[in-house]
Every structure is written in C-alpha cells, then in structure tokens.
Amino acid sequence: MTAWEAEADLVVVGSGVAGLTAALDAAEAGLRVVVVTKDAADAGSTRWAQGGVAVVVGDVPGDSVEAHVADTLAAGGGLSDAGAVAEIIAEGPAAVARLRARGADFDPGPGGRLARTREGGHSAFRVVHAGGDATGAEIERALVTATTDRRLPLLTGHVAVDALRDERGAVSGLAVLDDAGRPGVLRAPAVLLATGGYGQLYASTTNPETATGDGIALALRAGATAADLEFVQFHPTVLYTEDLLAGSSNRRAPAVGRRPLVTEAVRGEGAVLLDRAGRRFMTAVHPLADLAPRDVVAAAITRTLADTGADCVHLDARGIEGFPQRFPTVYAACRAAGIDPVREPIPVTPAAHYACGGVVTDRHGRTGVPGLYAAGEVARTGLHGANRLASNSLLEGLVVGARVAHAVAADRCVPRPATAEVLAPSPAVALAPRPVVQRAMTGAAGIGRDAAGLAAASDVVEAHTALGVPVDRAGVEDAALTLLAQAVLAAAGTRTETRGCHVRTDFPERDDVWQRQSLVVALDPDGRPVVRDETAAVGAA
Ligand code: SIN
C-alpha cells in the first residue's frame, strides 16, 4: 500500500554533480523539480572525486579542445562515439563557468588563471581542481548549497524502486521506499536517473556505499538498454592497507570496502611507481610511462604484482614539494594509515573505480523509454568508450546534466495521450547475497578475466539467487547488484578480446572484429539480462 503520493514535472534520482546540475537548470526553466536520494545529499560518488575537471578554457599555451578530444578518443580504445566526445568536450568551458557562478571555488594559479594539473592519458596540464585534491567535495558543496538556497525539495533517505509507466510505456512516476521501508509514489512525466555507478560489485573500490548500480537496474526493468557494462575501470592507485582479520590477534588481510584514492594528479605532478625492488616499471610499458592512460597503468600494476608476488606497488611522491598542502586529502588518508608520503613511498594497488558503460542515452540524456533520462556515471553517452579519460566524468555530469534539463523542458511539449492505468515492473526480482556477489566479481571479473572464470562466477551467483520482493534500501541495492553482476559477467564473457578496461587473459589482444561494437544488454521476458545481437546507437544525436 502506498503511504503517500506527490507530484512534480521532473523527479531527479541522485544528488551528485549530474543530478543537481539538471535539477537547478530545470528549476530555472520553470519546472517543478523534486530530488530524491537514498542517503544524505552528499553521500554519492561526486564528493570523493579528487583530481578535478578536465576542461580547455583557452589559457594553456599549446592546448586545445581538439587535443582534449583526441586524448579522450585515444583513451576510449576505439569505442567512443566521436560525435558525443566532440559535443560534450566543446561544452565544458561554459559548464564550468556556470558551476563557478553557482559558487564552486577552484584553485587559483599564476596570473589570475585557474591552476592546472595533469592526469593519465592527457597530453596537457588541463585539469582544474579545488581544495588541492578535494574537487568533488567542493563541487558537491556548491551544488547542495545552491539547491537548498533555491529551496528545491530534496527528499533524502528515499531509495528509488521502479519507474511507473503508462499504457504506452512512457514514464508516469517513480515508486520509492523510505528508510523505514514505507512506500511512496512521485507522479511525474519525467524521471532522471543520476545514481552513479556500481563499484560496490567489488570487494575493494574507491566508490562509496551508495554505488550499487540501482539506476541501471531500474532502467533495465523499465525497458531501457545498457551498454559497455564490461568496461569497469580500475583506478591504478588506491592506498593499500591491511585490516586485522576478525577473531584473530595477528592475522591480517588487504582492507576491503571503500578505499582511499591516491589521485592520479600525484603522478601528474611527478610521482613514479616502483616495484617491490624499488625499480620503475612503467617506463618500459608506455611512452607516457606513469602517466599512461589508466587502463594501461592498472593492468601493468596487476602484472607486476603477479610477477613479483607482492601485495602492492609503491608510489614515490617524495619529490613533490609541499605535498601536504597540494594533496591534503591523500596526505590525511596516508597519515591515518601510519604512512608519511613526504618521507616514504605510498603503498598502492588498483581497485574498482568507474563504470565506463551504463544506460544507453542520446547526447541529451534520453533513454529509449519516453520520459526516462540518465546522466553521469549511470549513463552511457559514448564519451568514455572502453576506458574513461581521467577527470572527464565531472565534466560529463556538468554538461549532460544541463542538457537533460533542456531535453525535459523540450519533451514536455510533445503531447501524450491521457491514460488511466499505471504499470510497474513485477515486484519480484532476483536476489543474491551481497558478499557472494562481491566475492564472485572480485575473483573473476577484475583486471584479467577468462571464459572459465566468468562462467564459474555466473554459476556461483546463479546458485545463490532466489526471487524476492525488496522491502527496504538494502533489498533494492542487493537486487541491483545481482542484476549488474549477471549483466557484467554476460557482457565480459561475450567480448572475446582485450580492449580498454576489459582485459581477457584468454584473448590478450585487441580484435578488430570488435572495433566500434558496443555490447547492448536488455532484460528478457523473465527479467534476466541478456546480451543483444546489436550495437548501441553509437552516433545518436
Ligand atoms: C583521480 O583523481 O585520480 C581520479 C579522477 C577521475 O577518476 O577522474
């Protein structure tokens, strides 16, 4: 039974950079907007972003929008949509200007310009940052403040369960559960999913606890498609520490859960990776050495760990002057773990970081379901391809968030037939225990996958899956993680090549057969994700 109902023109699910940008712009365009988020307003991934926003504003000699586009396409491994890349990057400067006008304070550099740093795969110093390495936190602060200043309704502690649709299949609202499991309904002709990624599929991730793939699962159940799900980007450098094993006074194991990021900007400003013998190993791997694209560095670290039997490699940042001031977040995390990066190399290892794929959208955030939109990490616009270029994600959230607001306003003018009946997907969904899912994905679907391991992981998830009706946030999240595990395993098993973040040990080379082929996932009539024999609408305007 529904405890309450409310009405809006646009319901935004998620309060990170994409969601709040869209909400603010839509409100400015005169729409009645409600923002719904399952946790606190700032509990999503945005606030944890460190490096910055990649953007070309024309004040760095030798850099250009074309160079940024070229770097993005090179990182994307042949799977990016060149049109989407060009459009989104070209709109970056205006999007950052609007964010600054909303109160975000970026670090100043010499001569009245913004300070710049560099990250992996970038051919120039073009990443603007805030608070040293606290860029996401500053953006989140500014956008949450702007949202509350504007008195936009912000419904925290409410998890989105399913989109409601009319007889035609168009969105007519959103079903939610509050923290006590009480159901509510927001009636609206437009729902924007801005729910972030699915890093919590893995035991160790840079993502917060909220990153459970809810938006992709909801979109698939509503009839939308997803693509590029096999491209899970592992960040090369998270702080490596050990936790005491429960019930033991001296046995330790690598710490799991959300792990502190050591931003790539640390390498951008001169730090280098060392193996257990203290040797640099990236110089032999790629011309950009420690600043190679992220997939290359993460895979090289993984190989080095396997070759040497070590649990971590080390990042030597001792040459960076003023490290504590330039990287206060990293410094604090290191100090909390008993490491002094000013005096000793930082132990690091890769961890799940970013979903390059997601719900298939056009360049304005429209999914294939009328009235359902997606923006930010949950979406697959074609910008990232097989491997996202560092710091392109906050940029994408800003640009596509704004574009969605325009799209929703424009789409309102399209008349819809009056309809009485409201449909929601079947409430019974596949549910597997989260620790089982995380163990299976960590063991078989990290950096280095093969057919046997992927099939075995699918079998394990399957064997532990039962149908159930989620009655609270944990249940909704577990259902999303179960569905995402099935979908990622299916896509990763289908792509018989190595490309970008998808590294197959049984198919170690790139195969041109797969060039420009994005694998599309949809649900079959039984609600199971299947890889469709088609490619995503690459190039859709
Ligand atoms: C980092 O600061 O290294 C992460 C930035 C990103 O993932 O774009």
Is 294 one of the catalytic residues? yes
The residues pairing with 90 across neighbouring beta strands, listed in sequence order, are: none
Tens digits of pLDDT across the chain (541 residues): 677 899 999 999 999 999 999 999 999 999 999 999 999 999 999 999 999 999 999 999 999 999 999 999 999 999 999 999 999 999 999 999 999 999 999 999 999 999 999 999 999 999 999 999 999 999 999 999 999 999 999 999 999 999 999 988 999 999 999 999 999 999 999 999 999 999 999 999 999 999 999 999 999 999 999 999 999 999 999 999 988 777 777 778 888 889 999 999 999 999 999 999 999 999 999 999 999 999 999 999 999 999 999 999 999 999 999 999 999 999 999 999 999 999 999 999 999 999 999 999 999 999 999 999 999 999 999 999 999 999 999 999 999 999 999 999 999 876 665 665 666 777 899 999 999 999 999 999 999 999 999 999 999 999 999 999 999 999 999 999 999 999 999 999 999 999 999 999 999 999 999 987 899 999 999 999 999 977 665 334 4
Q: Residue 162 is inside which H or E element, if any? A: strand 158-165
- CA–CA separation, 218 and 476 (whole Å): 10
CA of 354 to the centre of ligand 1 (A): 9
CA of 457 to the centre of ligand 1 (A): 29
Structure tokens at 503: 């590294």
CA of 263 to the centre of ligand 1 (A): 6
Give the pairing of strands 379-380 and 358-360: parallel
Instruction: Tell me phi and psi for residue 242, to 5 degrees.
Output: -120, 150
Count of domains observed in the chain: 1
CB 380 within 8 Å of CB 226: yes
CB 80 within 8 Å of CB 298: no
Is any ligand 1 atom within 6 A of the Cβ of residue 50? yes
Instruction: Give the atom of ligand 1 at the shortest distance from the alpha carbon of 353.
Output: 7
- CA–CA separation, 269 and 125 (whole Å): 10
CB 437 within 8 Å of CB 479: no
Is any ligand 1 atom within 6 A of the Cβ of residue 42? no
Tokens 């809810």 identify what position? 214
* 254 found inside a domain: yes
Tokens 């949202």 identify what position? 147
* 287 found inside a domain: yes
* 531 found inside a domain: no
pLDDT on residue 1: 62
pLDDT on residue 538: 37
CA of 115 to the centre of ligand 1 (A): 16
Is any ligand 1 atom within 6 A of the Cβ of residue 393? yes
Is any ligand 1 atom within 6 A of the Cβ of residue 390? yes
CA of 352 to the centre of ligand 1 (A): 12
pTM, whole model, 2 decimals?
A: 0.95
Is any ligand 1 atom within 6 A of the Cβ of residue 207? no
Note the helical H segments in 63-176: 65-75, 82-90, 92-101, 135-149
- Spatial neighbors of 304 by CB under 8 A, at least 6 apart, are 275, 281, 310, 313
C-alpha angle 498/270/238, rounded to 5°?
Answer: 55
CB 262 within 8 Å of CB 346: yes
Structure tokens at 393: 């994600």
Burial of 246 (0-12, 13-18, 19+ CB in 10 A): exposed
* 536 found inside a domain: no
* 324 found inside a domain: yes
Is any ligand 1 atom within 6 A of the Cβ of residue 457? no
pLDDT on residue 417: 59
- Residue 213's CB is within 10 A of a number of other CB atoms, namely 30
Q: Residue 468 is inside which H or E element, if any? A: strand 466-468
- CA–CA separation, 346 and 124 (whole Å): 25
- 343-347 long-range contacts, Cβ below 8 Å, gap at least 24? 343/318, 344/318, 345/274, 345/314, 345/315, 345/316, 345/317, 345/318, 346/237, 346/239, 346/262, 346/314, 346/315, 346/316, 346/317, 347/239, 347/240, 347/241, 347/312, 347/313, 347/314
- CA–CA separation, 129 and 84 (whole Å): 24
Query: Which of 48, 68, 72, 119 to mutate to test ligand 1, by most ligand atoms within 8 A of the CB atom?
Result: 119
* 310 found inside a domain: yes
* 261 found inside a domain: yes
What crossing angle do the helices spanning 392-411 and 17-28 adopt, rounded to 10°?
30
* 299 found inside a domain: yes
Protein residue closest via CA to atom 1 of ligand 1: 263
Give the pairing of strands 272-274 and 191-193: unpaired
- CA–CA separation, 304 and 350 (whole Å): 12
Q: Which domain holds residue 323?
A: 237-350
pLDDT on residue 252: 81
Q: Tell me the CATH number at 283.
A: 3.90.700.10
C-alpha angle 387/388/392, rounded to 5°?
Answer: 170
Note the helical H segments in 282-433: 294-308, 323-326, 328-336, 392-411
Query: Which of 47, 261, 501 to mutate to test ligand 1, by most ligand atoms within 8 A of the CB atom?
Result: 261
Q: State the maximum Cα–Cα separation within the chain, in Å, rounded to a whole number.
A: 70
Identity of the residue numbered 411: D
Query: Which of 17, 50, 117 to mutate to test ligand 1, by most ligand atoms within 8 A of the CB atom?
Result: 50
CB 40 within 8 Å of CB 156: yes
Instruction: Give the atom of ligand 1 at the shortest distance from the alpha carbon of 119.
Output: 3
- CA–CA separation, 474 and 458 (whole Å): 22
CA of 51 to the centre of ligand 1 (A): 5
> Nearest CA to 37 among 222, 179, 143?
179
Options 267, 294, 403, 504, the catalytic residue: 294
3-class secondary-structure state, position 115: coil
